[in-house]
Amino acid sequence: MGPRTKALVAAGSGITVGLAGLALSSLPAGADDDPELPAVGAEELVASTLAARAPAFAGVAELQNELGLPAVPGGEALDFETVRVFHDGEESARVQVERQASELTFVKNADEAWAYDSQERTATALTWDEDDKAAARGHAEAEMADPSQAAAEMIEQLRPTSDISVDGTASVAGRAAYELVLTPKPSEKTLLREITVAIDEETRVPLRFDVFANGTSDPVLSLGFVELELGAQDADLFEFTPPDGATVETTEADDAVRALEDAEDAGDVGQRATTVGTGWDTVVIGEAPAGGSGEGSGADAGARGQDLDGILQQIGTPVTGEFGSGTYVRTAVGGAVVTEDGRIAAGAVPRQVLVDALDADDADRQ
């Protein structure tokens, strides 16, 4: 992937959102008896899943989140309980994320992508010309529209550091599925025990994934379809018109690419989130929430910072490294370090791995 494509992918992330890919890639199994299916080998199942494409469908997914993660960059992707997903079987998709006080709507078609927040009444559009269309389409398939691609990325990332097996079958939203199990190799430092992915027997599209931590019998994260209907969808679902009174911002892909490249050249990382490590040991590093232990502005930001600092002192422990100093907070599946210079590093790994990741991030900046 060249610099231009990378920049376009990053620019589009705020519009099409990785949440959609995540929402499409899993779901909790129902109470039906496990179906009897022909035997399949793990590598054969993985290969067919990687080659699969989502058919046209409409579905409802539910999330059960017991991760116990603090506010981290991208953490808003898990701030929901129900999501409605529509796919045309080609390149268009619609995702409606239902929250307690609002609904987020993401729409992607061949020409543009939209994100709308009903609470803020803000709509953001990303458009592109013919030169950018291939990269934009590829990004949408990976991040929003294609559940098989979303799950394929997870499997591909974890495959080199995992033992993979097929452990029986399941019924998910009335669909017969194989249970693919990824277990970290002994060399991995992760605090996770395994991830199971339910893969549709007919279409090979992933229907659910469950994440299990060491020492727990129930999943700490479960996302999957509770309703799923295959078939053609109304084309109007994949068009979006902002409601009257909404604040609308439109960004050309070329402009977004240039802005991102200029920021990178200037060393202005802004709200970036980076990763350190690979596979199960990956650590995500980004800016702490506004008004947190890092810098802030105004009385409100100062008050929020004092509140957060007080909470961290109560639930966390001091930690130091070449990166400086901060506070370590243990979570259900790992932990996070909030640094005094306003960063946060999180992962399903022990504390020392987080410290090492921050040290490596500092070295990369210099």
Instruction: Give Cβ neighbours of residue 284 (< 8 Å, ≥ 6 apart).
Output: 72, 73, 74, 273, 274, 275, 345, 346, 347
Beta carbons of 253 and 132 less than 8 angstroms apart: yes
Domains of the chain as residue ranges with CATH: 3-247 (2.50.20.10), 273-365 (no CATH)
HSE toward the beta carbon, residue 297, CA cutoff 13 A: 0
Rg of the chain over Cα atoms, rounded to whole angstroms, equals 21
Q: What is the pLDDT of residue 358?
A: 94
Q: What is the pLDDT of residue 7?
A: 34
DSSP type of residue 146: -
Beta carbons of 286 and 73 less than 8 angstroms apart: yes
C-alpha 140/C-alpha 125 separation (Å) is 13
Beta carbons of 63 and 80 less than 8 angstroms apart: yes
Q: What is the pLDDT of residue 132?
A: 59
Three-class secondary structure of residue 139 per DSSP: helix
What is the block-wise mean pLDDT of the chain (366 residues), using blocks of 10 residues? 36 35 36 81 92 89 74 54 88 85 86 88 82 52 46 81 96 95 95 93 90 89 89 96 92 59 48 80 81 46 53 81 92 86 90 94 78
Q: What are phi and psi of 52, to 5 degrees?
A: -75, 155
Which of 353, 183, 332, 228 shows the shortest CA–CA distance to 283? 353
CA 319, chain centre distance (Å): 28
CA of 135: how far to CAs of 2, 4, 12, in Å? 10, 9, 10
C-alpha 172/C-alpha 335 separation (Å) is 31
Cα angle, residue 274 at apex, residues 133 and 193 outer, rounded to 5°: 105
